[in-house]
Amino acid sequence: MSEARALYAPEWLTYPEHPEALSRTIWTDSFTRNEQGELCIDGVTVSDLAAEHETPQYVFSETTFRARARAYRTAFEQAFAEHGAQVSVYYAGKSFLSTAVARWATEEGLCLDTASGGELALALRAQVPGANIALHGNNKSEAELARAIRNGLGRVVADSVDELKLIECVYAELAAERVAEGEEPYAPVPVLIRITPGVHASTHESIATAHEDQKFGMSLQPGTAALAGLDEEELEHWGVESTDSYAALAAAILNATDSLDFRGIHCHIGSQIFEAEGFEQAATTALEFMNRLNRDLGVTLPELDLGGGYGIGYTEADHPRSITEVTESIAASVAATCERLGMAIPHMSFEPGRSISGPSGATLYTVGTIKNVSIEDENGEIRVRRYVSVDGGMSDNARPVLYESDYSVTLANRAPAGEQVLSRVVGKHCESGDVVVRYCYLPADLQAGDILAVPATGAYCYVLGSNYNFLTRPPVIATAEGKPSRVMIRRQREEDMLALDMGSDI
């Protein structure tokens, strides 16, 4: 999103000639309107959802989640099968994770990507097999790594030389404990190293992760090996010589460490990306580096993970590519690069998160205060904008504040007929930046008590939630075609928050 925002309305926002219509770029087929014009989610009306579970609430469609998870797995498998290669698809749990979601992903044939000890604990609670779990993170703790080793995780994605040293140390301690107990040591830890491919993805700076000046990954730039800060004694410990890049040095160290199993390379260029070029460029860079390591280290690295980051539709300005377009373009690029380099296509893996969970969710709010304000537009003309306050806000969706993200909205409890008025949906927090939907049209007869639905909130909304102003966190309600709604994550109570306060007499 550009830093220069429209004062009154952006060019992409058009007056809705059919306000009841649900754009299939933004709303999946799980979201429909009944004959009365009320929004239904997997056949359940929003008025029933609000009556049973109150608002605000996140509604999460199991039907959509399973369909999109299955579609990604099938599309990637078919696209790479044409080139004689195999694929694993990891659901990126950081976008939204619960025990139910972890189970759904597993049942649809996906592995699970975790980014912290807490996400890993939840995955294990959901009984996801350790071999199907990956652990990410740029600053993993000893406890997180120990949990990963004890549970036989399928991969740990290392982010630095310091982390490789830490993994080796933690493994040695655990191995000593096992030997002391008369048991065999754990198998070597399967490790991928995360590289920085230098791709400048077209997305918000905060979610672009492949350029040099940021916290993730290891540089491929010549001369960066010295940044690891290793002295001659440490290099001698691993029996390696200093190399030109940080990533090459990390690879040499990893390859020389018996307790670690060097499985391959990982890279991820960012999130909410629509263009194909960035993914293709990252694939080429990663494969060229992988081919060089195979030659220089005398190995054949078996795995390459190209991350995720595929964009979804939030507003009418967005034009996401289909799942088939995404998978086929990446497969073709990987196959062409491998053929040029004379190497076999490694086992590929990918990590869609937002593009599975995002369209699966919507947030329901109840309208409260409505007021009109006067503003001066770009031409100096005085215009009116209507501010619609709802019973949630930045505590349940921080993305507009963090990333200047735009969303859509619709009147949900009845047909949004008649004149439509330019509006801004805002929350109830003590912040002027507490905006839920910055630019939208809503019916002129909107009134307090109406229910609004904001689509595409299944990713990075609940997981980024907070208790700002001591608002309780909303529940996550699961729907599925032919089933009644179920509470997936219960509503937080005031007692839950207050229980963390240890009292005044401490």
CB of 285 closer than 8 Å to CB of 249: no
Using the predicted structure, report yes or no on whether residue 234 has a pLDDT greater than 90: no
Mean pLDDT across the stretch 218-233? Answer: 83
pLDDT digit string, tens, across residues 3-29: 457 788 899 999 999 999 999 999 999
Task: Spell out the alpha helix ranges (H) of 308-424.
Answer: 323-341, 354-357, 399-403
Cα distances (Å, whole numbers) of residue 136 to 34, 116, 277, 471, 482: 43, 7, 25, 31, 37
Q: Check the annotation: does 77 bind a ligand.
A: no
| pLDDT tops 50 at residue 210 | no
| Confidence at residue 209, expressed as pLDDT on a 0 to 100 scale | 47
Cβ–Cβ under 8 Å, residues 109 and 99: no
Cα separation of 305 and 266, whole Å?
5
pTM: 0.94
Say if residue 217 carries a ligand binding annotation: no
Which pLDDT band holds residue 212 (cuts at 50, 70, 90)? low
Amino acid making up residue 313? G
For residue 418, pLDDT over 80 is answered with yes
> Which comes out higher in pLDDT, residue 150 or 244?
150
Please tell me whether 309 is known to bind a ligand: yes
Between CA 133 and CA 90 the distance in angstroms is 8
Rounded to an integer, what distance in angstroms lies between the CA atom of residue 218 and that of residue 198? 10
What residues does each domain of the chain span? 31-61+359-499, 83-351
Choice among 66-80, 156-170, 248-262, 492-506 with the minimum mean pLDDT: 492-506
- Catalytic positions, written as ranges: 430
Task: Tell me the pLDDT of the chain averaged across its residues.
Answer: 93
Closest CA to 275 of 205, 328, 202, 334: 202
Exposed/middle/buried for 233, CB within 10 Å: 0-12, 13-18, 19+? exposed
Dmax (CA) of the chain: 82
Q: What integer pLDDT is reported at residue 472 of this predicted model?
A: 97
The pLDDT score that the predictor gives to residue 489 is 98
Q: Is 352 annotated as a binding residue?
A: yes
* Location of structure tokens 């991928």: 192
pLDDT in tens, 450-494: 999 999 999 999 999 999 999 999 999 999 999 999 999 999 999
Contact 436, 392 (CB under 8 A): yes
| 235 pLDDT tier (thresholds 50, 70, 90) | confident
Note the pLDDT of residue 409.
98
The count of other CB atoms within 10 Å of the CB of residue 463 is 15
The rounded distance, in Å, linking the Cα atoms of 249 and 161 is: 8
pLDDT for 231 equals 77
The interaxial angle of helices 277-297 and 323-341, nearest 10 deg, is: 30
**What's the rounded Cα separation, in Å, for the pair 108 and 94?**
18
Question: How many angstroms separate the CA atoms of 167 and 174, rounded?
Answer: 11
Residue 122 belongs to what H/E stretch?
Answer: helix 117-125
Write out pLDDT tens, residues 280-336. 899 999 999 999 999 999 999 999 999 999 999 999 999 999 999 999 999 999 999
Task: Tell me the per-residue pLDDT of 429-460, one tens digit each, with 9 for 90 and over.
Answer: 999 999 999 999 999 999 999 999 999 999 99
Would you give the DSSP letter of residue 273?
B
Query: Residue 305 is inside which H or E element, if any?
Result: strand 303-305
| pLDDT score of 3 | 43
Of 42, 97, 87, 76, the closest CA to residue 357 belongs to: 97
Looking at the chain, the whole-number percentage of residues with pLDDT higher than 90 is 83
Residue 218 CA to residue 210 CA, distance in Å, equals: 10
In the block, tokens 């989640």 appear at 65
Provide the pairing of β-strand 420-426 with 483-489. Answer: unpaired
Whether the bond into 346 is cis, omega within 30 of 0: no
Superfamily classification of domain 83-351: Alanine racemase (3.20.20.10)
Beta strand pairing status for 155-158 and 382-390? unpaired
Instruction: Find the Cα–Cα–Cα–Cα dihedral 365, 368, 371, 375, rounded to 10°.
Output: -30
Q: Are 406 and 400 in contact (CB under 8 A)?
A: yes
- Pick from 76, 150, 159, 64: which is nearest to 356 by CA? 64
To 5 degrees, how large is the angle CA 277–CA 278–CA 280?
A: 65
Rounded Cα distance between 445 and 177, Å, is: 70
CA distance 202 to 272: 9
What is d(CA 69, CA 122) in angstroms, rounded to the nearest whole number? 19
96-112 confidence digits (pLDDT tens): 999 999 999 999 999 99
Q: Which residue has the higher pLDDT, 223 or 10?
A: 10
Structure tokens at 58: 């996140």
Q: What is the pLDDT of residues 236-264, one digit of tens each?
A: 777 776 678 899 999 999 999 999 999 99
* Residue 130, amino acid: G
Q: How confident is the model at residue 379 (pLDDT cuts 50, 70, 90)?
A: confident
Tokens found for residue 307: 């991350």
- C-alpha 464/C-alpha 447 separation (Å) is 29
Instruction: Answer yes or no: is 246 a known binding residue.
Output: no
Task: Please name the residue that has the structure tokens 């009556």.
Answer: 51
- CB 168, CB 259: distance < 8 Å: yes
**Local confidence band at 378 (pLDDT 50, 70, 90 cut-offs):** confident
Q: What CATH topology corresponds to 31-61+359-499?
A: Lyase, Ornithine Decarboxylase; Chain A, domain 1 (2.40.37)
pLDDT of residue 201: 53
